[in-house]
Structure 1
Amino acid sequence: MSDQLVIDTLDFVRNAGSLRGRVCPCDLERLQDYLTDKAGELVYSIEGLFDHQDRPMLRIAVSGTVNLSCQRCLEQLEHALELESELLLARNEDELCRYDEDVTVDAIMASTALDILTLIEDEIILSLPNSPRHQDIACLTTSKLEIYRAVTDEHPFAALATLKQ
C-alpha cells in the first residue's frame, strides 16, 4: 500500500473523528485477487461516534466501481460499490465475544494503531459477490451468439461425421 493512514480507534471516536479520501484499487493489494484490472477510484469516509447505547463505533462508507470477472462468460463486469457499514469497537476480548454472539452486530477489537486502508480493503472484499455475473440477458446473449457462430461456420454434418469414427 502506498500511504499508511493509522488511527487510535477509541481516541478517534472520543474526538468524533472524521476522515474522507480517495483510493485507487491498485493501492489495495489483497483486492487485486478479485479484480480484472486496476482501473477506477474509490471514495471513502470513516466517522467515529457512539451508538444509541453509548458504545464506540466506526461508520464506514465506500463508493465507486471495480471491475470483476463474470463467472458465467468470463468477460469483464463493472461492479458498483455503495458500501455502508458500522463496526462496534470492543475494548477487550470478553466484550468482543459478547458482540460475536449477536449476529446483527459487526465488531472489531479497538486498536491504538488501526490502518484505515486495510480496514477499507477488508470491508470491500467482504461486500463483493461470491459469484459475480452479468444480468442474464447481457451475459447469455453473448454466449449464445458465439455458440451459434461456431456451429454455423462448420458444415452442418461435420459433427455427425466425427461421431461415425
Structure 2
Amino acid sequence: MSDQLVIDTLDFVRNGKALRGSIPLHDLQRLGSYLLDSTGELTYEISGQLDDLNRPMLEIAVNATLDLSCQRCLKTIGYVLDVKTTLLLARTEDELALYDEDIFVDAIYASNELDILALVEDETILSLPVSPRHEDTGCHISAETETHEDIEKKHPFSILASLKHPH
C-alpha cells in the first residue's frame, strides 16, 4: 500500500473523529486476488462514536464497483459494493471474548495503532459474495454453445446413455 494511515482507536472515538478518503484498487493487494481488473478506486468513511450503551465503536462505510468473475460463466460482473458496518472496540481480552459470544456483534480489539487501510480492505473482502454469479437471465455458460437454461432442460444422465452402446 502506498500510504499507511494509523489511528489510536480509543482516542479516535473519544474525540469523535472521522476519516474519509479513497484508495486505488491496485494498492489493495489482498483484494486484488478477487478482482478481474484492479483499475478504479474505493471510497471509505470511518467515524468514531459511542453506542447507546456508551461503548466505543467505529462506523465504517465502503463503496466501490468491483469487477468480479462469475463462477458460472467466468465473465465479468460489475459488483456494486455498499458496505456499512459497526465494530465495537473491546478494551480487554475478556471484553472481546464476551463480544465474540454474541452473534449480532462485530468487535475488534482496541489498538493504539490500527491500520485504517488494512481495516477497509478486510471489511471489503469480508463483504464479497462467496460465489459471485450473474442473474440467470444474464449468464451464459458459453457464448458459442448453450446457455445455462438449455443445459438444465437436458436429462442429467443423457451422456451416460451414449456409453452403453458397444464400440
User: What are the superposed Cα offsets for residues 119-149 of structure 1, whole Å, 9 maximum, x if unpaired?
Assistant: 000000000000000111110xx3364215x
Q: Does the CA contact (< 8 Å) of 1:22 and 1:41 recur in 2?
A: yes
Alignment correspondent of 1:143: 141
2:101, 2:142 → 1: CA distance? 47
* RMSD of equivalent CA atoms: 1.7
Q: Does the CA contact (< 8 Å) of 2:71 and 2:133 recur in 1?
A: yes
User: What are the superposed Cα offsets for residues 6-35 of structure 1, whole Å, 9 maximum, x if unpaired?
Assistant: 000000000001000011111111101100
Report how far residue 114 of structure 1 moved: 0.3
1:85, 1:18 → 2: CA distance? 15
* More helix as a share of residues: 1
1:40, 1:80 → 2: CA distance? 13
2:66, 2:141 → 1: CA distance? 23
Q: Does the CA contact (< 8 Å) of 1:89 and 1:109 recur in 2?
A: yes
- The unaligned stretches of length 5 or more in structure 2 are 147-161
- Per the normalisation by structure 1, the TM-score is 0.87
Runs of 4+ in 1 over 2 A off after TM superposition: 142-145
Q: Aligned partner of 2:141: which letter?
A: S
Paired residues in the alignment total 151
Task: Check if 1:117 corresponds to 2:117.
Answer: yes
- The unaligned stretches of length 5 or more in structure 1 are 149-159
Percent of matched pairs sharing the same residue: 58
1:32, 1:145 → 2: CA distance? 27
2:143, 2:100 → 1: CA distance? 49
Cα distance change of structure 1 residues 147 and 92 upon mapping to structure 2, 3 Å threshold: same
The SS at the match of 1:147 is coil
User: What are the superposed Cα offsets for residues 34-76 of structure 1, whole Å, 9 maximum, x if unpaired?
Assistant: 0011122211000000000000000000111111100000011
1:36, 1:97 → 2: CA distance? 37
Q: Does the CA contact (< 8 Å) of 2:77 and 2:134 recur in 1?
A: yes
2:107, 2:82 → 1: CA distance? 20
Alignment correspondent of 1:153: none
Report how far residue 4 of structure 1 moved: 0.2
